[in-house]
Each structure stands twice: as C-alpha cells, then as structure tokens.
Amino acid sequence: MWNLLVVDDESIVRMGLRYMLDWESLGICWKAEAANGEEALRIVEQESIHFVMTDIRMPGMDGIELAQKIRHRKPEVQIIFLSSYDTFTYVREALRLGAADYLHKPTMDEDEIADTMQKVISRLKLTSHETPRRTEEEKNGLCLSLLDPFTFPAEPLQLLPELADVSYKEGYELAIIRKRCDAVQENEDAEQLRFLSILHLVGKLTAKDWGGLVFHRNLREIIWIAPVRPHTGNGDMPSYLKGMRQKVLELLNVRLIFACGPSPCRDITSLPDAYMSALLRFPRNEQSDSFIVRRAKEYVDRHLLEDVTLARVGESIHVSPGYLSRIFFKEIGENFSDYIIRNKMDIARKMLRETSRKVYEIAADLGYSNPYYFSKLFKDRTGLTPLEYRNQ
C-alpha cells in the first residue's frame, strides 16, 4: 500500500476527499491529514509517506513552501497540488518544483483523482528503482525537441515512452493552440497567469476526452500531440478543438485559435513537418505571424543597431537557426538577412533626412564598418546613393 498525506486548511475539503474515493481499491492508504504546512512537515518526517496532496494557498506555510521543504528533506515523496484558477502564480512555481500533478478543486471528480493517483503510483514505482525523475520543465523541453529536425532526439520513444503506447498505432495528430491576438492585452505577469490557466484546462480536457501530450512553447503557444483516435468512439481533431474552444471561452472568457497538421503522421519522425504545416495553416485574418516569427521580429527591433545574427536571435527564442530561417522566409516572404538590411536602410533614410551626420558615421551607427558597402546596400534598395538621397 502507498501512504497518502492530505493537507488542506479546510476540514470540509479533507473530509470530502476522504470519502470521495475507495482509496484502498487504488492501493492507497489514507495515512494522515493535516490542516497546515507545519503540521504536514512533522508528519512527513515521522511517518512513511509516499505522496502528499496539498492545497497551494494556506495560512502560514503555504503548499509551495511545504513542497520545497519536503523536496529538500525527502525528494522521493511525490507532491500533488490542489489549485483554483486564481492561484496560477503558485502553479507556475509548482511546475518548477517538479510537481507530480495538480488538480483543479472546483471541477475535479472521482475519475480525474483516480487517474492522477494511478499516474503518481506509476511514477513512484519507477523512482523506487532509482529511475531519474524529470521535472515538468525538463519534460516540456524534451517535448519541444520533437518539433524541430535540428533538435529531434535519436531515440524519442525511449525518452517519451508514452508516445509508444498502442493508442498511437495509427499515427500521431498534432495541433497548435493560441490565444487570439485581438484578446484584451494584459501585462506580462497577467498574460503568463492567463496562459497557465488555459494550459491547465486544455491539458485536463484532452486527457479526459482524447489523450496525448500537451506542452507549451515559452508560455505563449500550446502544442498537443495526440493519437488519431480518441479514448472512446470516433471523432476528428478539428471538430473536437472547436468544442474545446467553446468550453475555454465559457470557463475562462478567452478566445482561442488553433491549427492542425494536414494529416496524421504515420511515423513520429514526421512531427517537425506536421508542426511547420500547422504553423502555416493559421488563418491570416486572425493572426498574421506565428509566435516564433513575432518573437524574432521583436528581438530584431530591440537590437537592430547591434550585431544581429540568425544564431543570436534563435538562441534568444530557443529555436535552431536553420528552423528559424525556414519559417521566417515562409511567413515573411524574405530572407532573415534581407529583413535586417531593409529595416536598417529605413533607419538610414530617416537619419539622412533628419540629421547632419556624415555617411560613414551613419554606416557605423548601423553596424557597417565599411561605408562603401553600406552605400552599395543603400543604392540597391533605394536607387540612390546616400548623398543623392540626402540632396534630392
């Protein structure tokens, strides 16, 4: 039997959880419960506890601090967080701590709790054999590596064995989900918290209805890799996503857009192509550029007067230079280097009109040590030399 400790400052929540499930049938012993973090920590140190289910927000020592102390003293203990949608600033930290899972208190039901506990038990069995445990951040990074041919792992099914499940015998579907860019703009922290709410809800809905892996890129884009068939019955992914979009709108008041790959991938090595295809299928009247290209353009705008290279931009947004080069050209219609030059020449025209700085000084300001090369680039794009442009 696996020993469970439940921590919540509300006795009614602890009582509800205790009688919601037949814990013994899951192989779990309801070993103890606590009303606060201090009491829970004493129990963990005195008793043999395998996993702790704890509320995130509590008076005194909250769930995050409790998890930190448990991880420091007994890293093998698994942590399951109980959260509400208004506590996602804490959930972000929970993910960094390597939480086994987290449950949404207002909507969790018996099946969801049972599935979560079975998943944690599977993880406990692995850790009992000294198998290294990945944090959620590490797993997210591994999932992202499946989307880029330059980072695609040599043995993906060994690193992510869930993708070798029999449910994928017909292949892999891929979808990308984003918040509509015309939604209400918020500050960066609020945007991240809202995104975590969306990610959590999408993960729970897809796990219950269909299956697959849900992960994110830079807290801005959700990627879902799924079997061709849902858990039960039949269905197509676009229709399912339309229904899920409505649920997210009702629960979080957020409008989503999505795009799917054109067809299932028969082989897992085709996922990078499916991701690229899905990126290019987003409706242009709703969102013009992919998140990756928007981030790249933002970096260029901030650092245009510096030595901007494809490698530096790729490193700043966590994609390979080759991948960035291809998607940039497909979406913008010009090479990355041409985009840099065009923007620099726009600044050069402004400086020639509005300042009295010499041509070689303007060239140096824009990162061109050779003023003759700068003048050639300028004439290629304007039809005039810098002095002709200034004097016209």
Structural domain includes residue 284: no
Structural domain includes residue 286: no
pLDDT of residue 96: 60
pLDDT of residue 128: 57
CATH number reported for the structural domain that contains residue 19 in this entry: 3.40.50.2300
Instruction: Provide the whole-model pTM.
Output: 0.48
Structural domain includes residue 285: no
On the 0-12 / 13-18 / 19+ scale of CB atoms within 10 A, 236 is exposed
Q: Which domain holds residue 297?
A: 291-333
- Enumerate the H helices of the chain as residue ranges: 11-20, 37-46, 63-73, 88-96, 110-127, 136-144, 156-159, 188-209, 237-252, 271-279, 291-303, 310-317, 321-332, 336-354, 359-365, 371-382, 386-391
d(CA 390, CA 208): 65
Question: Do both 273 and 307 map to the same domain?
Answer: no
Question: Do both 238 and 184 map to the same domain?
Answer: yes
Question: Do both 32 and 96 map to the same domain?
Answer: yes
Question: Do both 321 and 347 map to the same domain?
Answer: no
pLDDT of residue 68: 84
CATH number reported for the structural domain that contains residue 382 in this entry: 1.10.10.60
pLDDT of residue 182: 44
Q: Structural domain tally of the chain?
A: 4
Which of 108, 135, 162 marks a domain boundary? 135
Question: Do both 66 and 161 map to the same domain?
Answer: no
Residue 11: CA atoms inside 13 Å, Cβ hemisphere, count?
A: 0
Kindly give the confidence (pLDDT) of every residue in the chain, 392 residues in length, as a single tens digit, with 9 standing for 90 and above: 789 999 998 888 888 888 888 898 888 999 999 999 999 998 998 888 998 999 888 888 888 888 888 887 888 888 888 876 555 555 656 566 666 777 877 778 888 888 888 888 887 776 654 444 567 788 888 999 999 887 888 888 888 888 988 889 999 999 999 887 544 445 666 778 888 889 989 988 998 889 999 999 888 899 999 999 998 777 889 999 999 988 888 888 788 889 998 888 999 999 998 998 888 787 654 444 466 787 888 888 888 888 788 888 988 887 788 878 887 887 777 788 888 888 898 899 889 988 888 999 999 988 888 888 989 898 888 888 999 888 87
CATH number reported for the structural domain that contains residue 236 in this entry: 3.30.70.270
Structural domain includes residue 316: yes
Which of 80, 107, 135 marks a domain boundary? 135
Question: Do both 47 and 102 map to the same domain?
Answer: yes
pLDDT of residue 98: 62
Widest distance between CA atoms in the chain? 87
Question: Do both 160 and 259 map to the same domain?
Answer: yes
Question: Do both 227 and 326 map to the same domain?
Answer: no
Question: Do both 155 and 261 map to the same domain?
Answer: yes
Question: Do both 25 and 86 map to the same domain?
Answer: yes
Question: Do both 310 and 190 map to the same domain?
Answer: no
Structural domain includes residue 345: yes
pLDDT of residue 268: 93
Question: Do both 131 and 189 map to the same domain?
Answer: no
Structural domain includes residue 18: yes
CA end-to-end distance (rounded Å), the chain: 86
